[in-house]
Structure 1
Amino acid sequence: MAKTPLRGFAEAEFSARTERAQAGMREKGLAGLLLMTEPEVRYFTGFFTPFWQSPTRPWFLFVPVKGKPIAVIPEIGAVLMGKTWIDDIRTWAAPCPQDDGISLLRDLLQPLAAGGESVGLMMRHETTLRMPLADFERLRAALPGLMFRDATDLVQGLRMVKSEAEIAKIRHICGIASRSFDRVPELISEGMPFEEVFRSFRREALLQGADEVPYLVGGAEEGGYHDVISPPSMRPLQAGDIFMLDTGMTWDGYFCDFDRTYAVAHADAASCRAYETLWQATEAGIAAARPGATCRDVFAAMNGVLKQAGGEGGDVGRLGHGLGMQLTEVPSIAGFDETVLQENMVLTLEPSLDYGEGRLMVQEENIVIRAQGAELLTKRAPERLPVIGGTA
């Protein structure tokens, strides 16, 4: 078993991230970035807390074109933020609907507005404005000389390429999840309610060392599942069922995201063929995922195997995505995504297949792009459909 990585990051990690962002700002003519969503705030500061689950309070981070980031946050977060590398922490007693940090932001940004500067915001796909729209309009009205411009590509581009320290955390949680999946044949049996299958798997993941299992979905039906995002029912597993567990576990704030499919007692021929087709499609994706290739190239490699086998890719819009501090990140492994793969990008390969009367099957692996090609972070799924309590 690989050595457990250290939790957190050295200050040099955050300094390097900030310097790369500042170089990008200079190229785009931005005087700073205004960030307010958890992954971006954490990426530049190391501020890590489950308190983001509460939607009551907004949180802001300003990354200037020169110097260290400045936190504008509720007072309740001051102690924790003070443990990061951030020195300038401006707080207010929140919640305060009349002024939830807006005057502090106004005062911070006023010099830039006076100079007619531009500040970057996350504005496009896979971003959110984590503050009331009315408050944002108030802020804009208070800073008539300031222009807000889109900085989505800049920030997402930085986060797509992981440091070795980030990759070590993702590799670690992938190992924990792989060992948890290895235990499934011992934990799961015919007759067990699917809800208990989920509960048993979560317990095992925590015992193996996961911090949390915030994402666990799956399907279980005779001859093949039809749905892969629903919570579990109390229906007992039955002989002939095909079931899948898809997990997003975390360790120190980084996700894995992959699934495994099993048969109970025996497997029908159509499900076995679908599983083997997906295994080959994943192999094609692994082979295609190398620096200089595009996400579209990887999609085409996997989709080509699915079509050659006479199958149709599941209508889920893409066959994979980025992975890191979020379960799904940019880019998308899809026909529309021309993102060029770079070393140290971490991806989920996720081919899916519709087969026979609406049945669906999905297979996933997590990889990191290296100079020579893809490196598996997950323990590769078996080439043949595993059968619990019987033989294929």
Structure 2
Amino acid sequence: MSNIPQRGFSNSEFEARLTAIQALMDKQGTGAILLTTEHDIFYFTGFLSQFWQSPTRPWYVVIPPKGRPIAVIPEIGANAMNNGFMKDIRSWSSPHATDDGVGLLTDTLLEVLASTTAKTIGINKGRETHIRMPLEDFERLTDQLSSSDSHIGWVDATDSIRAVRMIKSAAEIAKIRHVAGCVSDVFETLFSFAEIGMRDVDLFRSFNIACLEAGVDTVQYLVGGAGQHGYDDIISPPSGRLLSDGDVLIFDTGCTFDGYYCDFDRNYGFGEVNDGAKRTHQAVWQATEAGLKMALPGNTCAQVFAAMHEVLLKAGALGESVGRYGHGLGIQLTEPPSFTAWENTVLQEGMVMTLEPGMIYAPGKMIVHEENIVIGGDGPELLSRRAPAELPISQ
């Protein structure tokens, strides 16, 4: 039990995150940042709750140019937000018939902006982001701010928030390493509870149970597919199909520990699997090797993509249809940046990424492979336990 990471973070961890984002705010002349989404609020405050599954109540956190964040949240969450780091917690009874926090949020933003010459509010606008509040409330907020000061405007804070969140601390990496290790244990024992004739729905259930028993907090994401000598779908839930002789099965899972994800997959053969599937499994494994060699500080995501793609083309890939060969990982199952041909983000130490090459080797037949890594100064460290080069097959 001693190797299980400590839950939560020290105040110094949150202070470092706050210092980093406020430095970018100062550089860009931003007077405040408004956070509305589960993951951004968790990252900057430590507020972790499954209550986000309910769409009824909005939640807001305002980051000022100096000092700690200010929570503007429903009263039901005030005690949970009071975790030692958050000091200024303002709440209202929610849901409310006429003003579900907009007035309180307006007053808070105006108070923060009054302390600085900057009159802009940063908010997520870019790729892979959204604003979690009713559109009519956002319009009311904008109108109320404008009526107080016509010079107040919105700016895109996506790049700033992304830059801070993208580099993981040692404590964050430890959580991802732990959950990846738990899931690696389960993947290595899959044949102990998977066999020909088994319904996929029962296999999914057994996998969920095994992961929980291995020590993960949640099996937040589990998809897969099985088909004769390969599959054509990797994002679906179980259908009730029976595992058959000649099937190749993929499980792709995102399990969590203390709010942090692993995300990787494994492939398994059952009975007489053809040579095409076996060769393709070796090809995506070799493509991952090429990605590992290129995943170095200073290289771009596009360069890592190109290294993996070259291996697959030489192996006879018929196409690349998923758009990328991996992505960032952390408090979300997928985070920026992506390993694509057009992503020129430069890799830095502390980035946690997935390598996920996939190859279509025949019409309707593909094999996808995924590992989790952290970028280090001397090269990447595997957080998931490396898959075997040859397709594991159960007779």
TM-score, with length taken from structure 1: 0.97
In the alignment, does 2:388 pair up with 1:386?
A: no
Contact map agreement 2:230 2:249 (CA 8 A) in 1: yes
In the alignment, does 2:369 pair up with 1:363?
A: yes
In the alignment, does 2:338 pair up with 1:336?
A: no
Q: Note the residue ranges of structure 1 that are not aligned, 5 or more in a row.
A: none
Taking the aligned partners of 2:113 and 2:372, their CA distance within structure 1 comes to 44
Contact map agreement 2:120 2:155 (CA 8 A) in 1: yes
The one-letter amino acid of 1:366's match is: N
In the alignment, does 2:313 pair up with 1:307?
A: yes
Name the SS of the counterpart of 2:195 in structure 1: coil
Contact map agreement 1:46 1:84 (CA 8 A) in 2: no
Contact map agreement 1:311 1:355 (CA 8 A) in 2: yes
Contact map agreement 1:224 1:242 (CA 8 A) in 2: yes
Taking the aligned partners of 2:133 and 2:260, their CA distance within structure 1 comes to 25
Cα deviation, residue 83, structure 1: 2.2
Name the SS of the counterpart of 1:165 in structure 2: helix
Cα distance change, pair 284–116 in 1 and its aligned pair in 2 (3 A) = closer
Contact map agreement 1:306 1:313 (CA 8 A) in 2: no
Kindly provide the CA deviation profile for residues 266-297 of structure 1, in whole angstroms up to 9, marking residues without a partner as x.
32100001100000000000110000000000
Superposition pairs of residues 57-76 of structure 1, within 5 angstroms: 57-76=57-76
Match of 2:276 among 245, 254, 270: 270
In the alignment, does 2:16 pair up with 1:22?
A: no
The one-letter amino acid of 1:20's match is: A
Cα deviation, residue 111, structure 1: 4.0
Partner of 2:122: 120
Contact map agreement 1:313 1:351 (CA 8 A) in 2: no
Partner of 1:137: 139
The one-letter amino acid of 2:131's match is: L
Give the share of equivalent positions with the same residue, in percent.
Answer: 51
Name the SS of the counterpart of 1:143 in structure 2: helix
Kindly provide the CA deviation profile for residues 70-128 of structure 1, in whole angstroms up to 9, marking residues without a partner as x.
00000000110112410100000001141111111111122456656111101111111
Partner of 1:149: 155
Name the SS of the counterpart of 1:282 in structure 2: helix
Cα deviation, residue 332, structure 1: 0.6
Kindly provide the CA deviation profile for residues 293-350 of structure 1, in whole angstroms up to 9, marking residues without a partner as x.
0000000000010011121343011110000000000001101110000000000110
Kindly provide the CA deviation profile for residues 138-158 of structure 1, in whole angstroms up to 9, marking residues without a partner as x.
111111131110010000111
Partner of 2:10: 10
Name the SS of the counterpart of 1:379 in structure 2: coil
Taking the aligned partners of 1:223 and 1:112, their CA distance within structure 2 comes to 60
Contact map agreement 1:218 1:246 (CA 8 A) in 2: yes
Contact map agreement 1:303 1:313 (CA 8 A) in 2: no
Superposition pairs of residues 1-392 of structure 1, within 5 angstroms: 3-111=3-111, 117-144=119-146, 145=149, 146-388=152-394, 390=395
Contact map agreement 2:30 2:118 (CA 8 A) in 1: no
Contact map agreement 1:256 1:323 (CA 8 A) in 2: yes
RMSD: 1.2
Taking the aligned partners of 1:383 and 1:106, their CA distance within structure 2 comes to 57
Taking the aligned partners of 1:208 and 1:343, their CA distance within structure 2 comes to 29
The one-letter amino acid of 1:56's match is: T
Contact map agreement 2:32 2:109 (CA 8 A) in 1: no
Taking the aligned partners of 1:283 and 1:312, their CA distance within structure 2 comes to 20
Taking the aligned partners of 1:22 and 1:131, their CA distance within structure 2 comes to 24
82-91 or 320-329, larger mean C-alpha shift: 82-91
The one-letter amino acid of 2:88's match is: D
Cα distance change, pair 210–112 in 1 and its aligned pair in 2 (3 A) = closer
Contact map agreement 2:106 2:141 (CA 8 A) in 1: yes
Q: Note the residue ranges of structure 2 that are not aligned, 5 or more in a row.
A: none
Cα deviation, residue 2, structure 1: 7.8
Taking the aligned partners of 1:89 and 1:287, their CA distance within structure 2 comes to 47
Taking the aligned partners of 2:66 and 2:391, their CA distance within structure 1 comes to 55
Contact map agreement 2:70 2:86 (CA 8 A) in 1: yes
Contact map agreement 2:318 2:362 (CA 8 A) in 1: no
Name the SS of the counterpart of 2:380 in structure 1: strand
The one-letter amino acid of 2:12's match is: A
The one-letter amino acid of 1:27's match is: K
Taking the aligned partners of 1:139 and 1:234, their CA distance within structure 2 comes to 48
Taking the aligned partners of 2:247 and 2:222, their CA distance within structure 1 comes to 19
Taking the aligned partners of 1:384 and 1:340, their CA distance within structure 2 comes to 32
The one-letter amino acid of 1:274's match is: T
351-360 or 70-79, larger mean C-alpha shift: 351-360
Cα distance change, pair 12–261 in 1 and its aligned pair in 2 (3 A) = same
The one-letter amino acid of 2:183's match is: A
